[in-house]
Amino acid sequence: MDIRRQRGISRVGFATIVALAAALGFVLNETQATIEEARVNIIVRNMRTGLQVAIGEHLIRGEDNRLGELLAANPLEFLRKVPEGYVGETAVPDGAGTWRFDPTARRLEYRPRHPGAFDGRRELRWRLLAVGTVAGRPVGLRLEAM
């Protein structure tokens, strides 16, 4: 009787390892998508807070008639530090995970790495809008998603 010692793993063992690796990859991808969504939300929230601070500074100095000047600003100017992946003020789109400000359209854009985290959208956009006017001048501003 010839008894051979089996070396390595069986097909079932190999299939189990492949299934576990696939499940781990799926979980990792979902985690990265959740992290990306949270980062974008934090950046947008911080831009909105920075905009409120800029408006408040104008009002404190009695420069409420100059609020309209903020409409021309790149919303990233309201952050202390630009986010990772910012490619600058350009009308040319870039790859996934990049922020850009289109100076012609006056809008901020982000191209997600994981569009599924953003309802499948491949590009997110925001712009500054005037809130109400008095004598043709804005009395407030907001950063609005498009």
Give me the torsion for CA of 45, 51, 53, 59, rounded to 10°: -150
- Indicate whether this model's pTM tops 0.85: no
pLDDT at residue 121 greater than cutoff 90 = yes
The Cα 141–Cα 56 span in angstroms is 11
Pairing of the two strands 107-111 and 98-102:
antiparallel
Does 2 have pLDDT greater than 60?
A: no
The rounded Cα 78 to chain-centroid distance in angstroms is 15
Mean pLDDT of 109-132: 92
> Could you read off the pLDDT of 41-95 as tens digits, one per residue?
999 999 999 999 999 999 899 988 888 888 889 999 999 999 999 999 987 778 8
Residue 122 pLDDT > 70, yes or no?
A: yes
pLDDT at 107: 93
DSSP 55-120: HHHHHHTT-GGGGGGGGGS-GGGGSSSPPTTEEEE-SS---TTEEEEETTTTEEEEE-S-GGGGTT
Q: How far, CA to CA in Å, does 48 sit from each of 122, 139, 145?
A: 22, 16, 11
104: Cβ contacts below 8 Å, ≥ 6 apart: 91
The share of the chain scoring above pLDDT 70, in percent, equals 95
- Give the model confidence (pLDDT) of 19-39 as tens digits: 778 777 777 777 888 899 999
